[in-house]
């Protein structure tokens, strides 16, 4: 399927800390980059807006183990780990969505505590195409919130990777998205 008017591409948290060598690396997380770059090129050709979310945590974020959270410190605002993967080719007019900035509130979804829904509506977006990291956390939460917000949601499965804290978490997340009304897409057709 090709992107068209009324669509948006949403790239979720393709940041250094979620890629190999990062503080909270997703296995093969960097493998999503070339796939997403093809989708970005298609979005630019089609005139479709591109949004990119990022964790932008304060140093004392509630999700960190030091504060009783489940994760090591990661994606601390302004650090190399919080930067987008260097090979990800975001367009000049990308709209950046910073999330999980409140030290006392965690948010996996790109919609949580952000103005993403409003931005999408102002851009007259009806369908959101989602890829990024991690499939079983931020991609899952973002896709489910997008569905709740009334958008048609397509998750680009070859542009996501799962943490799989428990084996099969990624597959369970995709099943949950599908059961909520999301569409799972494997590849960009030309």
Residues involved in catalysis: 13, 99, 138
Instruction: Name the residue among 18, 14, 16 with its Cα closest to residue 50.
Output: 14
Do residues 146 and 27 touch, judged by C-beta distance below 8 A? Answer: no
Radius of gyration of the chain (CA): 15
Helix (H, G, I), strand (E, B) or coil at 123: coil
Q: Scan for tokens 């932008």, then name that residue.
A: 56
Sign of CA dihedral 30, 35, 41, 44: negative
Q: Scan for tokens 């956390």, then name that residue.
A: 137
User: Beta strands 127-133 and 7-12: pairing type?
Assistant: parallel
Q: How far apart are CA 17 and CA 131, in angstroms?
A: 17
Neighbours of 165 (CB within 10 A): 10
In the chain, which ranges are continuous DSSP H helix? 32-46, 116-122, 140-148, 169-179
Which tokens hold the place of 28? 């093969």
């Amino acid at each position: 399927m090709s992107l068209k008017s009324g669509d948006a591409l949403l790239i979720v948290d393709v940041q250094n800390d979620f890629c190999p060598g990062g503080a909270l690396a997703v296995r093969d997380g960097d493998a999503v980059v070339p796939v997403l770059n093809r989708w970005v090129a298609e979005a630019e050709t089609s005139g479709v807006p591109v949004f990119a979310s990022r964790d932008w945590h304060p140093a004392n974020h509630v999700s960190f183990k030091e504060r009783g959270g489940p994760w090591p410190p990661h994606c601390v605002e302004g650090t190399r780990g919080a930067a987008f993967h260097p090979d990800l080719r975001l367009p000049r007019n990308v709209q950046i969505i910073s999330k999980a900035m409140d030290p006392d509130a965690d948010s996996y979804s790109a919609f949580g505590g952000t103005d993403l829904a409003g931005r999408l509506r102002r851009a007259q977006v009806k369908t959101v195409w989602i890829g990024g990291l991690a499939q079983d956390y931020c991609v899952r939460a973002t896709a489910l919130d997008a569905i709740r917000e009334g958008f048609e949601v397509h998750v680009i499965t070859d542009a996501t990777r799962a943490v799989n804290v428990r084996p099969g978490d990624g597959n369970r997340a995709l099943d949950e998205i599908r059961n909520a009304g999301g569409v799972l897409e494997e590849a960009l057709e030309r």
